[in-house]
């Protein structure tokens, strides 16, 4: 039996930032993941530091549209029929989180995380000489058909949460992003958000610095975690650590259950289409009506989005990636589909849109479930979780506690 200091299960962007915070505090870190660092869902996200997204997904305004949306195979929010029964408990809790009190609490918790997110990214990337991975040009939410009064109401909601945002009419939009199509009528500019030109390169950059500080990675899958800090690897080998931190994203559910937490974690599968050509955009552009995002990246243009409930095992539905090109061309007429690469990833989501962060059992901690915002929230989650580990208590993380589902 090996004795380790800190073992982190899962080397996605959340595992890596958690490792970074602990390594900067002088702890020795071992990452366990059958994939290489950053090769899971963190590989293909839209690269948007979406700090403006302080509203949980459980929104009562969704209700009238939900049944139609869920069953449309190419709609932005879909549930595969064969997965309906398994998803029902999650959706039951999702509906409960639409209640005003729950929504206000969840919004407040998300806002706290998002408010601190970019400062934490800046500190980590600055200290490690990786600043080029964070571009601070803000991002746009654009509208083709929604009238001005409604856009102003949406803007007011963001402003009421302290999100820095401003209204842009057609001329102002075109001045900022001349490549946008004439069909785009108005927009909201979130001035304090940012993006990364390559999410995978960002993870690799952090991993390289971690290695220089003595962190290790073993390409192995974890079969179980036990209270007291024991990790059982596939094949039966056992490791004992002072602290084990579970950061396996959408795959965390079974491992969490092993230490007594039956959590309503599911996956909102999402797709991207990576186009080799450049779009002419300088910042991410999301479409309100089409529910997808275009991000200018180092390797071309990434179109990303769509939510699909189908679990961890079902194969990808390539049509859901391909539909993104139709949407992309509506906003950017010159966009070329030749050489496009399809990809699917697993957003790890709880029905209240909050991650699970904090102490789980003696010697075991959780940091997963960052839904649509894992890139955005990775640095702040890593820093806050590391503080809790170093101080041996997670009271400041109460809104994110695993016990909010399972009781004390």
Is the Cβ of residue 137 or residue 172 nearer to ligand FAD in the bound state? 137
Is the Cβ of residue 48 or residue 78 nearer to ligand FAD in the bound state? 48
Do 300 and 282 touch, CB atoms closer than 8 A?
no
Do 55 and 156 touch, CB atoms closer than 8 A?
no
Indicate whether 12 belongs to the interface with ligand FAD (CB under 6 A).
Answer: yes
Q: How far apart are the first and last CA of the chain?
A: 31
Indicate whether 347 belongs to the interface with ligand FAD (CB under 6 A).
Answer: yes
Least gap, CB of 190 to ligand FAD (angstroms): 13
Mask for 265-284, x = binds ligand FAD (CB under 6 A): -----xxx------------
Tokens 């990364």 belong to which residue?
196
Tokens 């302290």 belong to which residue?
162
With 0-12 / 13-18 / 19 or more C-beta atoms within 10 angstroms meaning exposed / middle / buried, residue 316 is: middle
Q: Which of 6, 7, 8, 14 binds ligand FAD (CB under 6 A)?
A: 14
User: CA-based diameter of the chain, in Å?
Assistant: 66
Mask for 50-89, x = binds ligand FAD (CB under 6 A): x---------------------------------------
Q: Which of 6, 13, 21, 179 binds ligand FAD (CB under 6 A)?
A: 13
**In degrees to the nearest 10, what's the CA dihedral of 194, 25, 224, 380?**
-20
Residues in 180-239 at the binding interface with ligand FAD, rule: CB under 6 A? 221-222
The stretch near ligand FAD (CB under 6 A) out of 20-28, 39-47, 235-243, 319-327 is: 39-47
Least gap, CB of 2 to ligand FAD (angstroms): 16
DSSP 94-106: HHHTTSHHHHHHH
Do 192 and 51 touch, CB atoms closer than 8 A?
yes
Binding footprint of ligand FAD on the chain (CB under 6 A): 9-15, 32-35, 39-42, 45-48, 50, 221-222, 247-249, 251, 270-272, 304, 345, 347-348, 368, 370, 372-376
């Amino acid at each position: 039996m090996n004795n380790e200091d800190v073992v982190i299960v899962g080397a996605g962007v959340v595992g890596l930032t958690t490792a970074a915070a602990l390594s900067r505090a002088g702890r020795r870190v071992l990452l366990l993941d059958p994939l290489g660092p950053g090769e899971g869902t963190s590989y293909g996200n839209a690269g948007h530091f979406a700090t403006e997204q302080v509203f949980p997904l459980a929104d009562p305004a969704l209700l009238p549209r939900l049944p139609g949306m869920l069953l449309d195979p190419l709609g932005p929010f879909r549930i595969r029929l064969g997965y309906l029964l398994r998803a029902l408990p999650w959706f039951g809790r999702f509906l409960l989180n639409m209640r005003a009190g729950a929504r206000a609490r969840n919004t407040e918790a998300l806002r706290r995380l998002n408010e601190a997110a970019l400062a934490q990214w800046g500190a980590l990337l600055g200290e490690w000489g990786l600043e080029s991975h964070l571009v601070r040009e803000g991002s746009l939410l654009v509208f083709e058909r929604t009238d001005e009064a409604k856009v102003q109401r949406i803007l007011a909601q963001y402003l009421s949460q302290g999100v820095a945002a401003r209204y842009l009419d057609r001329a102002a939009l075109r001045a900022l992003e001349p490549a946008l199509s004439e069909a785009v009528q108005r927009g909201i500019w979130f001035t304090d958000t940012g993006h990364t030109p390559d999410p995978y390169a960002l993870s690799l950059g952090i991993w390289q610095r971690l290695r220089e500080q003595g962190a290790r990675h073993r390409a192995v899958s974890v079969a179980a975690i036990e209270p007291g800090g024991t990790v059982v690897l596939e094949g039966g080998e056992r490791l004992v650590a002072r602290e084990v931190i579970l950061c396996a994203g959408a795959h965390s559910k079974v491992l969490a259950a092993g230490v007594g937490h039956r959590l309503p974690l599911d996956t909102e599968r999402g797709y991207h289409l990576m186009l080799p050509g450049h779009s002419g955009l300088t910042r991410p552009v999301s479409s309100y009506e089409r529910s997808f995002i275009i991000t200018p990246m180092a390797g071309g243009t990434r179109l990303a989005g769509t939510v699909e409930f189908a679990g961890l095992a079902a194969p990808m539905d390539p049509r859901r990636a391909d539909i993104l090109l139709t949407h992309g061309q509506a906003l950017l007429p010159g966009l070329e589909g030749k050489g496009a690469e399809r990809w699917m990833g697993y957003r790890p989501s709880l029905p209240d849109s909050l991650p699970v962060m904090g102490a789980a059992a003696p010697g075991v901690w959780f940091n997963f479930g960052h839904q649509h915002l894992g890139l955005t929230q990775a640095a702040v989650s890593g820093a806050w979780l590391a503080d809790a580990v170093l101080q041996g208590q997670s009271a400041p993380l109460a809104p994110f506690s695993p016990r909010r589902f399972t009781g004390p």
